[in-house]
Every structure is written in structure tokens, then in C-alpha cells.
Amino acid sequence: MFFSKRRSWLDALYARSYHMKMGEVHLPGVDLYMVNEPSLVRRVMVEEAAAFPKHEMLGDALRPLLGDSIFTTNGEVWRRQRALMDPSFEAARIRHVFGRMREASEAMAARLRQVPEGAEHDVEIEMTHVAADIILRTILSQPLDSAAARQIFEAFARYQSLAPRLMMPAFFGLRWLQPWWQIGRSRRAAAEIRSLLATLIRPRFDAARAGNATEEGDILATLLRVRDEHSGAGFEFDELVDQVAMLFLAGHETSASALSWALHLLAHAPDVQQRLHDEAAQVFDPASDDPGAMKDLVLARNVFREALRLFPPVGFLARQSAQDCTMRDKRVSRGASVVISPWLIQRHRALWARPDEFDPDRYDDAAKGAPGDDALPVRESLRRAYLPFGMGPRVCIGAAFAQQEASLILATLAREFRFEPVAGHVPEPVGRLTIRAGNGIRLRVHQRRGGERR
């Protein structure tokens, strides 16, 4: 198990994992409980969230990259940081940066127009580029050139591939076994990305502290202005780098993952892809800076929601029990690992109708109150067993941002391009920090001409 499961968390799952309500594994270094039952999930993430803080091993793995950001902290430190971050992601602020999202989306379309007709293209790299471009434009008012996009993609890929290997020894009580050469590679990859961000943040931070801040209209401007309601203090420079690193790296990586899988699913569902094209051609104006137009992209939203269900970017949410407790008659000791897996719960055989089927129309069925053909109606599946952004007080701060971004990108792509599978290429999901394709997602790209419907 030590050698076979460290490549991907998904390798540790079995057929029965998709049926169980709660599973347990006892390793030399940790007692691990996998919780699938909705009532227990809600207990861990909502009702008793303070009793199940984020796992310290996750913090150890991500801290070189994300520092002490809201992704890695717990308790009072996390609450202070979250309160300072929230104003940057209010609905008005997200709508305000829509024009910057549109500019990045149009740059993506321009790049794809240069792809030869019907040629193979790695859409993972393309989606990473556009997601990183959007994050940089909306947070720092900086567009991302192609060379930097690939540099960030490759640096993050190195960091991701090393994370399970560096965490796995702790599960077996072998913390001393962590290979120093891999630790060094991991830290160099993290430093490479943080250095780029620090260089961009420093002039703005210094100007704000000197009272010479310019109103850029981006998320960093909001972060520079916010103050703690009790102390009156704002973010220090290192704190700001930590938070921007979290927003940039967690934000672009999760969106890129979900959008890549969405294109994979659409390529294998040409009827849905055609309907998405028709919707985009009828209601979407790619030149408009009005985010209100996004409300009419119903199918685009549903495609993204279904991609998030089948391929949740963060497939495993690790918590740690702060005290002894009981779950389903099992004694969970203080310090034990409690894992909530969106990957498992959102494909669970008792919680979803046709759990492995790509069906974006199921969300319309839920709105209409249509029942599922399993133990739960569709509406109940969504309410109790759909958590791609987590739930409770630590629900993803960028959920609304990601949904606006995804609708825009999918509508832009469907309006102008058509994607087909590459014969013989089957993307292999690999669960590391996020769920990516271990062998890439290559699709054939066709530019639509006039009224083409093929």
C-alpha cells in the first residue's frame, strides 16, 4: 500500500468505497475514517466544524506554497483572515471584475484560433492558462503571457506530484523517511511561484502604506484597504503574499481542473455540446462587459455543475478530530483523520441516480422537483450529497467567482469551437492536491464556420 497508493489518492479506493457509509483504515502513523453518510458529513463540516479542524498534515504539505493563508490555518487566526478576505468576494466585487474575465476569455479564443483545424490540443494546459490569466487580471491587474503560464503550470505540476509522496510516510509513522531531495524539489517549485507573486505585490503594498495607492479596481486593491474590526490592522506584506498565493494557486488550479474535465465530457457528448453552442449563439454576447448576461447561460452552468460532481477539483477534504468522539458506533480517537471525499459522495450508489453518467439536465430536474430513480430524489441528492466547494464555515470563498468564470469560458468556447475525442486517448484521473489527468486531456479542436451544427 505504501508504494502503490502514493501516486494518487484515487488508487486507494475500491468498488465498495462507493457504497459504504463509513470506512476505516488503521495505519502505523494514523487512524483514518472515510465518512460518506450525509448526516455525518454535515456534523463534521457544519454542526461541529470547530471540533474537526483542517488536518495538520495538509497544512504541512501546503504551507511552503500557500504560507499561513485561510487554506492552511485554523481557529482564531483563520476567522480573522476570513473576515478580512470576505469583502473581496462579495457579489458586487465579482461583477466588477467581469470585464477582466472577458478579456482573458477572448485572449484564450484568440490562441485557439491559431490551432490548426482538427489538430490535437492539450486542453489542460489551455484551461490552466486562461484560469491563471483570469486570476492575475482580477487580483493583480496583470495579464499572463504564454511562457509564464507554462512555467506556473509546470511548477505547480511538480509540486502536486511530490505532495502525496511527502505526506505518505507520515501515514505509516515514518516521518523520518521523507526524502530530502524531493523536499528540496517541492520547496523550489513553491518558491518559484511565490517569487513571481511577491514581485507583483510589493510595489502596490509599499504605495498603499505610503498613502499613495492607486485604485486599480482589482481584488488586491480591496485586500490592501480592509482592516480588522477590532485592531484596525490590515494584512502585513507576508500575510498578503500568503493570501494572494492561496487565491491565485488554489483558484486557478481548481478552475482549470474542472474546466478541463468539462471539455472532456462535452467532447464525448456531442448532443450536449451542440445544445451549449446553440445557447451561447442565442444569448451570449462575447463583447459585452455586462455580467447580467450570464444569467441566461443555464446549460453552461449545469455543464459546469455536472463536471464538478463527476470530477470535483478537490476530491478529498482532510479533517482531524480535536477530541474523542463516536461515529456510527465507531470510537474516533483525538487526533484521528476524518476524510470527507466529494469524489466518493458525488458518485455514491445510494445517493445519486446514474452516478457515473454525465447528465447536466439533472439540475433542471431538481428545479422541477422530478424524482431520481435511486433511493434519493434529485433535489435531495443535491442538497445532501453535492459539495464540490465544501460546506459550512469553510465553504470555498471563491465559489461564485468560479461559477461566473466557468459560464463565461464555456460559452466562449462553445460559441466558436467544437471539440472531439482523440482516438485511443483516455484521460486517467489522478488525485493529488487536485484531480487532474495523469496523461493530459487531448482533444481535437475545430473552429465552427457560420451555422455549422456537426
Give pLDDT tens digits for 225-240: 899 888 888 899 999 9
Confidence of residue 368 (pLDDT cuts 50, 70, 90): low
Q: What is the CA radius of gyration of the chain?
A: 22
Q: Comparing 10 with 314, which gets the higher pLDDT?
A: 314
Residues 87-116: pLDDT tens digits?
Answer: 889 877 888 899 999 999 999 999 999 999
Confidence of residue 4 (pLDDT cuts 50, 70, 90): low
Picking from 304, 234, 251, the residue whose alpha carbon sits closest to that of residue 97 is 251
What's the pLDDT score for residue 164? Answer: 61
The segment with the largest mean pLDDT, out of 62-66, 192-196, 294-298, is 294-298
Q: Comparing 63 with 361, which gets the higher pLDDT?
A: 361
% residues pLDDT > 90 (the chain): 56
Picking from 419, 415, 421, 363, the residue whose alpha carbon sits closest to that of residue 388 is 363
Give the span between the Cα atoms of 36 and 341, in whole angstroms: 7
Domains and CATH numbers, the chain: 9-21+49-309+395-447 (1.10.630.10)
